[in-house]
Amino acid sequence: MVGREGQQQKSSVGDGLLDPTLKSEILRYADFARICYSVIKNDEIVKESNNLRERGYEITDYIFYNVRLCTSYYRRPIGFIAVCTDENEIRRVGGRDIVVAFRGTSKRREWIQNLKDKVVPWQDLPGPSSKPVLGICKGFLGYYEDKGEYNCDSSPKDIIERTITRLVEKYKGESLSIIICGHSLGGALATMSAYHIKLLRPSTPVTVFTFASPRVGNRPFADHMEEIRVKVVRVVVKGDLVTKVPGLILNENAHNRVARLEGQKFVGQWAYCHVGTKIRLDPSSSPDLSWKARLFHRHNLETYLHLLTRYTTCSS
């Protein structure tokens, strides 16, 4: 469970049953990721979800990324920022939540961007000045920082920084927490934005719930996320191939294998590493999933929601 001070309360994430309180929190923000898909369809923003309003949340801003097709740039929606406005809900959870939600990959051009898996330094943020370098997947960094054709303040990074700053100032003096969630590519963007926000607002609790997220950065990035106390809960379905990339070969396991070798620094800087606490769901625990779903649909958010809702056996 995530506390208001950003401390992660002890919950069972070992082999066996998922702690009911933690399960409730995970399902709550998995549903925000699902709502993101319903709000953004075919690169267009549709009418705001009734489910969001029923929960007591209002969207304050949409997040757009800039994509280059041939010689022209286009802006496409990829997420939203919502704030809790229901006083009963605020009293129930002990403070006001700001939720940042991202959708996953939906177009072929986005898969092409995802394949740019070289680790590159994240140079635009005030991270630790000492070596080794904090490395991020080049494709994901492009989504997050590309300002578009006219180099204006319109990247997801700019939109999030501007909106979070405004909301924190608006609700100054209240108990605030920032929850970021996303599925697939959205999980990677959620992880990056959590790091960005925590550096901007060190005193504000920041928690991330990702579903089917790929790896985002290298070992120094993962270590610094933990150091600055960003709480990450990473939910994966056993056999979901997207959660194994980038870094199918050069990853945290490779780092551990060569930790005593002279090449440790090289591997640490260029190998990908997952972030946070992993909760793994097993599709074989559900007799309701068809063989086709078990084989081909392990990455779908619907599969994650099904397993979280009805079958709570997991391993960490």
The DSSP bridge partners found for residue 77 are 64
- The one-character DSSP state at 2 is B
Six-digit token pair at 229? 């106390």
The amino acid at 102: F
Residue 239 exposed, middle or buried by CB count within 10 Å (0-12, 13-18, 19+): middle
Catalytic residue (choose from 193, 224, 240, 255): 240
240 as an active site residue: the answer is: yes
Which residues, 6 or more positions from 170, have their beta carbon under 8 angstroms from its beta carbon? none
Helical H segments across the chain, by residue range: 20-39, 50-54, 87-93, 108-114, 138-145, 156-170, 185-200, 219-227, 252-257, 264-270, 291-296, 301-310
24 as an active site residue: the answer is: no
Q: How far apart are CA 260 and CA 132, in angstroms?
A: 17
Catalytic residue (choose from 49, 177, 184, 193): 184
Which residues carry out catalysis? 184, 240, 299
